[in-house]
Copies of this chain bind each other. A is one copy, B any other.
Amino acid sequence: MPSGVAAIIVAAGSSQRMGGQDKLFLPLGKLPVLARAVEPFQRSELVRHIVLVVNRSNHRMTRALVERLHWTKVAHICLGGPRRQDSVARGLSKLTGCEWVVVHDGARPFVSEEMVRRGLEAARQTGASVAAVPVKDTIKIAGEDGLVRETPPRKDLWIAQTPQVFRFDIISNAYAQAGEESTDDAVLVERLGYRVRLFPGSYGNIKITTPEDLRLAQALLEGMNEQL
């Protein structure tokens, strides 16, 4: 198993699509969204350190949460940047002496220890891995004119999620050369020609962005509890 694993939890978004409320501290059952996203990393025996990247207005609340939930692995709470990738870069800058980095969205509360384990295993094969689930919809590629250019075969299409796992030197290199804005970390690594392996995420591993997502998350949580 990989040694020296650090997790960066990216939680510095502005929650613009949540109508003013900060999505990371909204309650989901007995815990806020962010706490559910962090707990599996705190519990996992594979993870040594956790870096939380938050925005200025949440810094104090995050510190209180770390104390209240006894997150002993949290080594840093640092402030994010204007774009997601700036936030990841700031998290990376806090890490030294680790071999593997797991990047995870603070707004994905249904990550599991098992998913983190799978991600590390997959990343060992190529140096980089991404949680993914098969696309269920038909996807169209269209131009700015609104006309369909292509309908790629659905069997080849995957929805990228987090966790995304990288060898430390690869992700550091990718971020050092990061150019235009990207929607995920793996694409920066792909651009440099590194191979990225997909591993099974979960349809339940949603990212909470809108009030509808929060409703869905509550429904998913109820479904999980019913199964206990």
Interface set of A (CB-CB < 8 Å, partner B)? 126, 130, 132, 135-143, 146-149, 151-152, 154, 156-161, 183-184, 186-187, 190, 195-199, 203-204, 209, 211-212, 215-216, 219-220, 223
Contacts and interface: CB of A to CB of B under 8 A. Distances in A.
A186 B126 contact: no
B187 A151 contact: yes
Nearest to A204: B212
A215 B209 contact: no
A136 B160 CA distance: 11
A196 B148 CA distance: 6
A147 B159 contact: no
A152 B149 CA distance: 13
A136 B206 CA distance: 12
Copies per assembly: 2
A197 B146 contact: yes
A142 B154 contact: no
B126 A139 contact: no
Nearest to A216: B216
B186 A151 contact: yes
A142 B156 contact: yes
A138 B196 CA distance: 14
Given A143-B156, A160-B138, A148 B212 contact: no
Contacts of A157: 139-141
A65 B147 CA distance: 38
21 contacts: A126-B147, A130-B148, A135-B139, A140-B159, A140-B186, A141-B156, A141-B158, A142-B158, A143-B156, A146-B199, A147-B196, A147-B198, A148-B186, A148-B196, A148-B198, A151-B186, A151-B190, A154-B183, A203-B212, A204-B212, A216-B216
Nearest to A128: B148
Q: Which has the most chain B C-beta neighbours within 10 Å: A136, A139, A159, A190? A: A139
A139 B159 contact: yes
